Structure 1
Amino acid sequence: MSYTQLLTPEEKLAEAKRLLSLPHIVVICGSTRFLAEMNEADLRETKAGKIVVKPGIDMKSPRGLRSDPVDAEALKGRLDDLHRAKIRLADEVLVVGDYIGDSTRAEIVYARSLGKPVRFAHPEADPDA
């Protein structure tokens, strides 16, 4: 009797990406104060043939997203969850900016806990270097 080996969700995702012939996926992490650098990194990575995902909302921008503190905190929680999902989807993490705050540090720790390679646009910013 043969037994089929059950795949982990991560293995299923990797196999699906392979079957779909998806290019390498990189997620950009960093403080939203570095949005211009994120956009430049997006350009370089896309030009290199990679799929790029990055933060979609800057909570520091004056769009009224922070006008209600309760709503803003709830939105930040949802955005954090969404960004962790982007990290799970990605093949690699690219950290931009020369400053690593608490949120970015938590994303780095999370990515590394999943075995994702983490690359730094500013290698001197690597908290584990």
Structure 2
Amino acid sequence: MSYPQLLTAEKKLADAKKLLSLPHIVVICGSTRFMTEMNEADLRETKAGKIVVKPGTDMKSPHEPWSAPVEAEALKARLDGLHRAKIRLADEVLVVGDYIGDSTRAEIAYARSLGKAVRFTHPEVDLDA
């Protein structure tokens, strides 16, 4: 007797996105030093009919919520978790910029561990290509 396989959360999410006829979802990753380039990539991907999610803030720019080191560290941890959730939600990752730091490298590894497609605006920086 065979038993039906239980659906994973990822499979349930993929099925729900199909049932809702959602457009392809792309998450933009990369160093926040490339925020201008991320905005341009957002425009191109949106114009192509995709839902785009990307970092919502640049903590390298001075701002009151992260002016104190302790608060900045806690906020960065929360934002990193939020960005990983964006990666789980997305169908594909677009890495922007010609530099890959430790955080972006970790995001790429996480996306690939989930079986997400990963594209690069600068393919030469893909160390796994």
| TM-score, normalising length: structure 2 | 0.96
Residues 59, 65 of structure 1: 8 Å contact kept? no
Which residue number corresponds to residue 57 of structure 1? 57
The alignment partner of 2:27 has SS state of: strand
Residues 66, 75 of structure 2: 8 Å contact kept? no
Question: Please, which runs of 5 or more residues in structure 2 have no aligned partner?
Answer: none
Q: Distance in 1 between matches of 2:88 and 2:111?
A: 8
Of stretches 115-124 and 1-10 in structure 1, the one that deviates more from structure 2 is 1-10
Q: Distance in 2 between matches of 1:18 and 1:67?
A: 42
Q: Does 1:104 align with 2:109?
A: no
Of stretches 59-68 and 48-57 in structure 1, the one that deviates more from structure 2 is 59-68
Which residue number corresponds to residue 69 of structure 2? 69
The alignment partner of 1:23 has SS state of: coil
Q: Describe the superposition over 1:50-88 as per-residue Cα deviations: whole angstroms up to 9, x where unpaired.
A: 000000011011112332111100000000000000000
Q: Determine what percentage of the aligned residue pairs are the same residue.
A: 84
Question: Please, which runs of 5 or more residues in structure 1 have no aligned partner?
Answer: none
Flag as ranges the 4+ runs of structure 1 deviating above 6 A.
none
Which residue number corresponds to residue 84 of structure 2? 84
- Displacement, 1:2? 7.6
Which residue number corresponds to residue 37 of structure 1? 37
RMSD after superposition: 1.2
- How many residues get paired? 129
The letter of the residue matching 1:82 is L
Residues 99, 125 of structure 1: 8 Å contact kept? yes
Q: Distance in 1 between matches of 2:66 and 2:85?
A: 23
Q: Describe the superposition over 1:5-50 as per-residue Cα deviations: whole angstroms up to 9, x where unpaired.
A: 3210000000000000000000000000000000000000000000
